[in-house]
Amino acid sequence: MRVAVVGATGMVGEIMLKVLAERNFPVTELIPVASEKSVGKEISYKDKKFKVVNLQTAVEMKPDLALFSAGGDTSLEWAPKFAEVGTTVVDNSSAWRMDVTKKLVVPEINANALTKEDKIIANPNCSTIQLVMALAPLHKEYKIKRVVVSTYQSITGTGVKAVQQLENEYNGVQGEMAYKYQIHRNAIPHCDSFLDNGYTKEEMKLTNETMKIMGDDTIKVTATAVRIPVVGGHSEAVNIEFENDFDLAKVRALLQNTDGITVQDNTDTNTDPMPLYAEGKNDVFVGRIRRDESQDKTLNMWIVADNLRKGAATNTIQIAEYLLANKLIG
Protein backbone atom coordinates (compact mmCIF):
# COMPACT_ATOMS: atom_id res chain seq x y z
CA MET A 1 0.00 0.00 0.00
CA ARG A 2 1.27 3.47 -0.94
CA VAL A 3 1.10 5.64 2.17
CA ALA A 4 1.69 9.40 2.48
CA VAL A 5 2.51 10.82 5.91
CA VAL A 6 1.74 14.54 5.87
CA GLY A 7 3.74 16.31 8.54
CA ALA A 8 6.32 13.52 8.57
CA THR A 9 9.01 15.67 10.21
CA GLY A 10 6.79 16.81 13.11
CA MET A 11 6.43 15.20 16.55
CA VAL A 12 3.29 13.22 15.68
CA GLY A 13 4.54 12.42 12.17
CA GLU A 14 7.70 10.86 13.56
CA ILE A 15 5.62 8.70 15.94
CA MET A 16 3.34 7.70 13.04
CA LEU A 17 6.36 6.32 11.20
CA LYS A 18 7.40 4.39 14.32
CA VAL A 19 3.91 2.96 14.83
CA LEU A 20 3.55 1.99 11.15
CA ALA A 21 6.80 0.04 11.46
CA GLU A 22 6.00 -1.50 14.87
CA ARG A 23 2.59 -2.73 13.70
CA ASN A 24 3.94 -3.93 10.34
CA PHE A 25 1.42 -1.94 8.37
CA PRO A 26 1.81 -3.09 4.73
CA VAL A 27 3.60 -0.03 3.32
CA THR A 28 4.90 -0.76 -0.18
CA GLU A 29 5.89 2.87 -0.79
CA LEU A 30 6.26 5.58 1.83
CA ILE A 31 5.67 9.18 0.74
CA PRO A 32 6.90 11.55 3.48
CA VAL A 33 5.34 15.00 3.07
CA ALA A 34 6.37 18.22 4.80
CA SER A 35 6.76 21.95 4.28
CA GLU A 36 8.88 23.36 1.45
CA LYS A 37 11.86 23.90 3.76
CA SER A 38 12.05 20.13 4.38
CA VAL A 39 11.62 19.03 0.75
CA GLY A 40 14.53 16.86 -0.39
CA LYS A 41 15.50 15.77 3.12
CA GLU A 42 15.67 12.03 3.67
CA ILE A 43 13.50 10.14 6.16
CA SER A 44 14.49 6.69 7.40
CA TYR A 45 11.82 4.00 7.55
CA LYS A 46 12.60 0.33 8.09
CA ASP A 47 16.23 0.79 7.07
CA LYS A 48 15.29 2.53 3.82
CA LYS A 49 15.59 6.20 2.90
CA PHE A 50 12.70 8.19 1.44
CA LYS A 51 12.89 11.78 0.21
CA VAL A 52 10.45 14.34 1.58
CA VAL A 53 8.13 15.83 -1.05
CA ASN A 54 5.72 18.75 -0.98
CA LEU A 55 1.93 18.47 -0.85
CA GLN A 56 1.30 19.01 -4.56
CA THR A 57 3.78 16.29 -5.53
CA ALA A 58 2.18 13.92 -3.02
CA VAL A 59 -1.30 14.53 -4.48
CA GLU A 60 0.03 13.86 -7.97
CA MET A 61 1.49 10.54 -6.74
CA LYS A 62 -2.09 9.42 -5.82
CA PRO A 63 -1.29 7.40 -2.67
CA ASP A 64 -3.85 4.89 -1.39
CA LEU A 65 -3.75 6.45 2.07
CA ALA A 66 -2.70 9.82 3.50
CA LEU A 67 -2.14 10.22 7.23
CA PHE A 68 -2.31 13.91 8.11
CA SER A 69 -0.73 15.66 11.08
CA ALA A 70 0.04 19.10 9.74
CA GLY A 71 -2.49 21.45 11.33
CA GLY A 72 -6.04 22.47 10.54
CA ASP A 73 -5.38 24.97 7.76
CA THR A 74 -3.28 22.45 5.81
CA SER A 75 -5.97 19.80 6.26
CA LEU A 76 -8.79 22.06 5.13
CA GLU A 77 -6.91 22.98 1.95
CA TRP A 78 -5.25 19.70 1.04
CA ALA A 79 -7.34 16.80 2.38
CA PRO A 80 -10.04 17.39 -0.27
CA LYS A 81 -7.37 17.45 -3.00
CA PHE A 82 -6.13 14.02 -1.92
CA ALA A 83 -9.72 12.75 -1.69
CA GLU A 84 -10.42 13.98 -5.23
CA VAL A 85 -7.70 11.70 -6.64
CA GLY A 86 -9.06 8.71 -4.71
CA THR A 87 -6.81 8.82 -1.64
CA THR A 88 -8.36 8.04 1.75
CA VAL A 89 -7.32 10.66 4.31
CA VAL A 90 -7.13 10.15 8.08
CA ASP A 91 -6.67 13.58 9.61
CA ASN A 92 -5.28 14.41 13.06
CA SER A 93 -6.25 18.09 13.13
CA SER A 94 -9.46 19.63 14.44
CA ALA A 95 -10.45 20.72 10.92
CA TRP A 96 -13.03 18.01 10.15
CA ARG A 97 -13.98 16.65 13.59
CA MET A 98 -17.31 18.40 14.01
CA ASP A 99 -18.20 18.41 10.30
CA VAL A 100 -21.52 16.55 10.11
CA THR A 101 -20.44 14.90 6.84
CA LYS A 102 -17.28 13.38 8.38
CA LYS A 103 -16.84 10.43 10.77
CA LEU A 104 -14.97 11.02 14.03
CA VAL A 105 -13.46 7.66 14.89
CA VAL A 106 -11.99 5.75 17.80
CA PRO A 107 -11.74 2.25 16.28
CA GLU A 108 -12.62 0.32 19.46
CA ILE A 109 -15.85 2.33 19.72
CA ASN A 110 -17.27 3.32 16.33
CA ALA A 111 -15.11 2.13 13.41
CA ASN A 112 -18.06 0.04 12.21
CA ALA A 113 -19.62 3.29 10.95
CA LEU A 114 -16.93 3.62 8.25
CA THR A 115 -17.65 2.93 4.58
CA LYS A 116 -15.77 3.08 1.26
CA GLU A 117 -17.36 6.48 0.67
CA ASP A 118 -15.55 8.01 3.67
CA LYS A 119 -12.54 9.62 1.98
CA ILE A 120 -11.77 12.09 4.82
CA ILE A 121 -11.90 10.59 8.31
CA ALA A 122 -11.27 12.64 11.44
CA ASN A 123 -9.05 11.50 14.30
CA PRO A 124 -10.33 12.90 17.63
CA ASN A 125 -8.54 15.20 20.02
CA CYS A 126 -5.90 13.44 22.14
CA SER A 127 -7.56 14.09 25.50
CA THR A 128 -10.95 13.03 24.12
CA ILE A 129 -9.66 9.68 22.84
CA GLN A 130 -8.43 8.46 26.20
CA LEU A 131 -11.59 9.73 27.91
CA VAL A 132 -14.06 7.97 25.60
CA MET A 133 -12.03 4.75 25.65
CA ALA A 134 -12.91 4.46 29.35
CA LEU A 135 -16.41 5.91 29.08
CA ALA A 136 -17.72 3.72 26.23
CA PRO A 137 -17.97 0.33 28.00
CA LEU A 138 -19.44 1.98 31.11
CA HIS A 139 -22.01 3.97 29.10
CA LYS A 140 -23.14 0.79 27.40
CA GLU A 141 -23.68 -0.90 30.76
CA TYR A 142 -24.94 1.91 33.02
CA LYS A 143 -25.80 4.91 30.75
CA ILE A 144 -23.85 8.07 31.54
CA LYS A 145 -25.70 11.24 32.52
CA ARG A 146 -22.83 13.64 33.20
CA VAL A 147 -19.03 13.75 33.14
CA VAL A 148 -16.78 16.23 34.96
CA VAL A 149 -13.21 15.98 33.66
CA SER A 150 -10.06 17.86 34.62
CA THR A 151 -7.08 17.22 32.36
CA TYR A 152 -3.39 17.54 33.19
CA GLN A 153 -1.82 17.73 29.76
CA SER A 154 1.68 17.06 28.52
CA ILE A 155 3.61 19.85 26.83
CA THR A 156 4.16 17.51 23.87
CA GLY A 157 0.55 18.29 22.93
CA THR A 158 1.73 21.82 22.10
CA GLY A 159 4.71 20.58 20.10
CA VAL A 160 8.47 20.69 19.91
CA LYS A 161 8.59 24.42 20.72
CA ALA A 162 7.04 23.71 24.15
CA VAL A 163 9.48 20.87 24.84
CA GLN A 164 12.33 23.24 24.03
CA GLN A 165 10.87 25.91 26.33
CA LEU A 166 10.78 23.46 29.26
CA GLU A 167 14.33 22.27 28.57
CA ASN A 168 15.52 25.89 28.41
CA GLU A 169 13.83 26.64 31.74
CA TYR A 170 15.40 23.54 33.34
CA ASN A 171 18.79 24.86 32.28
CA GLY A 172 18.22 28.55 33.01
CA VAL A 173 18.49 29.46 29.31
CA GLN A 174 16.51 32.31 27.73
CA GLY A 175 14.76 31.17 24.57
CA GLU A 176 11.61 31.19 22.46
CA MET A 177 8.40 30.76 24.49
CA ALA A 178 5.62 28.42 23.41
CA TYR A 179 3.52 29.63 26.34
CA LYS A 180 2.84 33.09 27.71
CA TYR A 181 4.14 31.89 31.09
CA GLN A 182 6.97 29.78 32.44
CA ILE A 183 5.93 26.09 32.38
CA HIS A 184 8.74 24.72 34.59
CA ARG A 185 7.44 24.34 38.17
CA ASN A 186 4.07 25.65 37.02
CA ALA A 187 0.57 24.61 35.94
CA ILE A 188 -1.18 26.77 33.34
CA PRO A 189 -4.98 26.46 33.75
CA HIS A 190 -5.90 26.67 30.10
CA CYS A 191 -5.00 24.73 26.95
CA ASP A 192 -5.62 26.41 23.58
CA SER A 193 -7.39 29.76 23.14
CA PHE A 194 -10.47 31.03 24.96
CA LEU A 195 -13.97 31.09 23.50
CA ASP A 196 -16.81 33.51 24.26
CA ASN A 197 -18.27 31.19 26.91
CA GLY A 198 -15.10 31.34 29.03
CA TYR A 199 -14.03 27.80 28.13
CA THR A 200 -11.05 27.01 25.94
CA LYS A 201 -11.20 25.26 22.58
CA GLU A 202 -9.61 22.19 24.20
CA GLU A 203 -12.33 22.03 26.85
CA MET A 204 -15.12 22.30 24.29
CA LYS A 205 -13.47 19.59 22.17
CA LEU A 206 -13.85 17.26 25.17
CA THR A 207 -17.54 18.22 25.45
CA ASN A 208 -18.55 18.08 21.79
CA GLU A 209 -16.34 15.27 20.49
CA THR A 210 -17.39 12.94 23.31
CA MET A 211 -21.05 13.23 22.32
CA LYS A 212 -20.26 12.68 18.62
CA ILE A 213 -18.03 9.62 19.14
CA MET A 214 -20.42 8.03 21.63
CA GLY A 215 -23.38 8.79 19.36
CA ASP A 216 -25.35 10.27 22.25
CA ASP A 217 -25.90 14.00 22.67
CA THR A 218 -27.63 13.50 26.04
CA ILE A 219 -24.23 12.94 27.73
CA LYS A 220 -23.31 16.17 29.49
CA VAL A 221 -19.57 16.89 29.72
CA THR A 222 -17.86 19.79 31.48
CA ALA A 223 -14.09 20.13 31.33
CA THR A 224 -11.11 22.05 32.69
CA ALA A 225 -7.87 21.60 30.75
CA VAL A 226 -4.54 22.32 32.47
CA ARG A 227 -1.05 22.31 30.97
CA ILE A 228 1.65 20.81 33.22
CA PRO A 229 5.44 20.34 32.81
CA VAL A 230 5.25 16.67 31.82
CA VAL A 231 6.26 14.95 28.55
CA GLY A 232 4.98 11.36 28.80
CA GLY A 233 1.25 11.75 28.32
CA HIS A 234 -2.02 13.34 29.39
CA SER A 235 -3.74 12.56 32.71
CA GLU A 236 -7.41 13.05 33.53
CA ALA A 237 -9.39 13.12 36.78
CA VAL A 238 -12.88 12.01 35.78
CA ASN A 239 -16.17 12.02 37.70
CA ILE A 240 -19.03 10.12 36.03
CA GLU A 241 -22.68 10.20 37.04
CA PHE A 242 -24.76 7.28 35.71
CA GLU A 243 -28.47 6.72 35.19
CA ASN A 244 -28.13 3.29 36.81
CA ASP A 245 -26.16 2.10 39.82
CA PHE A 246 -23.00 0.07 39.36
CA ASP A 247 -20.85 -2.56 41.04
CA LEU A 248 -17.19 -1.56 41.45
CA ALA A 249 -15.87 -5.05 40.75
CA LYS A 250 -17.91 -5.17 37.55
CA VAL A 251 -16.68 -1.70 36.53
CA ARG A 252 -13.09 -2.90 36.86
CA ALA A 253 -13.89 -6.06 34.90
CA LEU A 254 -15.62 -4.12 32.10
CA LEU A 255 -12.61 -1.84 31.75
CA GLN A 256 -10.02 -4.61 31.97
CA ASN A 257 -11.86 -6.60 29.30
CA THR A 258 -11.94 -3.66 26.87
CA ASP A 259 -9.36 -3.83 24.08
CA GLY A 260 -6.85 -1.03 24.45
CA ILE A 261 -7.38 -0.46 28.19
CA THR A 262 -5.10 -1.58 31.02
CA VAL A 263 -6.39 -1.23 34.57
CA GLN A 264 -3.71 -0.20 37.08
CA ASP A 265 -5.53 0.10 40.38
CA ASN A 266 -3.82 -1.51 43.36
CA THR A 267 -3.66 0.64 46.49
CA ASP A 268 -1.60 -2.02 48.34
CA THR A 269 1.30 -1.62 45.91
CA ASN A 270 0.62 2.02 44.93
CA THR A 271 0.07 0.89 41.35
CA ASP A 272 -1.57 3.76 39.46
CA PRO A 273 -1.53 5.12 35.91
CA MET A 274 1.19 7.73 35.43
CA PRO A 275 2.56 9.50 32.35
CA LEU A 276 6.05 8.32 33.29
CA TYR A 277 4.97 4.73 32.59
CA ALA A 278 2.43 5.43 29.82
CA GLU A 279 5.02 7.07 27.56
CA GLY A 280 5.74 5.01 24.45
CA LYS A 281 2.77 2.67 25.03
CA ASN A 282 -0.40 2.37 22.97
CA ASP A 283 -2.90 1.49 25.71
CA VAL A 284 -5.07 3.76 27.84
CA PHE A 285 -4.38 3.23 31.55
CA VAL A 286 -7.18 3.52 34.13
CA GLY A 287 -6.92 3.57 37.92
CA ARG A 288 -8.09 5.22 41.17
CA ILE A 289 -11.49 3.61 40.48
CA ARG A 290 -13.79 4.40 43.40
CA ARG A 291 -17.35 5.35 44.23
CA ASP A 292 -18.10 9.06 44.71
CA GLU A 293 -19.45 9.05 48.25
CA SER A 294 -20.93 12.53 47.90
CA GLN A 295 -23.46 11.54 45.22
CA ASP A 296 -25.44 8.45 44.23
CA LYS A 297 -24.58 6.41 41.13
CA THR A 298 -21.34 8.34 40.61
CA LEU A 299 -17.80 7.08 39.97
CA ASN A 300 -14.33 8.61 40.15
CA MET A 301 -11.38 7.43 38.06
CA TRP A 302 -7.97 8.52 36.75
CA ILE A 303 -7.08 8.03 33.07
CA VAL A 304 -3.61 8.32 31.50
CA ALA A 305 -2.36 7.80 27.94
CA ASP A 306 0.55 8.79 25.73
CA ASN A 307 -0.99 11.68 23.80
CA LEU A 308 1.35 11.21 20.83
CA ARG A 309 0.44 7.51 20.54
CA LYS A 310 -3.16 6.52 21.36
CA GLY A 311 -3.98 10.23 21.46
CA ALA A 312 -2.74 10.73 17.89
CA ALA A 313 -0.51 8.40 15.85
CA THR A 314 -1.68 4.99 17.09
CA ASN A 315 -5.37 5.81 16.78
CA THR A 316 -4.77 7.11 13.24
CA ILE A 317 -3.05 3.90 12.20
CA GLN A 318 -5.68 1.74 13.90
CA ILE A 319 -8.25 3.49 11.70
CA ALA A 320 -6.12 2.64 8.66
CA GLU A 321 -5.83 -0.98 9.83
CA TYR A 322 -9.62 -1.21 10.13
CA LEU A 323 -10.08 0.23 6.64
CA LEU A 324 -7.63 -2.29 5.22
CA ALA A 325 -9.00 -5.30 7.12
CA ASN A 326 -12.54 -4.49 5.96
CA LYS A 327 -11.50 -3.85 2.35
CA LEU A 328 -12.51 -0.19 2.50
CA ILE A 329 -9.18 0.86 0.95
CA GLY A 330 -6.53 -0.78 -1.20
Active centre residues (catalytic): 126, 234
Is the alpha carbon torsion for 131, 273, 149, 314 positive or negative? negative
Phi, psi dihedrals of residue 47, rounded to the nearest 5°: 65, 15
Q: Treating both helix axes as pointing N-terminal to C-terminal, what angle do 201-214 and 126-142 enclose, rounded to 10 degrees?
A: 40
Sequence letter at residue 32: P
Are 206 and 214 in contact, with CB atoms under 8 Å apart?
no
Are 227 and 188 in contact, with CB atoms under 8 Å apart?
yes
- Tell me the C-alpha to C-alpha distance, in Å, between residue 170 and each of 61, 183, 215, 230, 309: 44, 10, 44, 12, 25
Torsion angle of C-alpha atoms 278, 280, 281, 284, degrees rounded to 10? 50
Judging by beta carbons within 10 Å of its beta carbon (0-12, 13-18, 19+), is residue 87 exposed, middle or buried? buried
Task: Give the bridge partners for 234, in sequence order.
Answer: 305
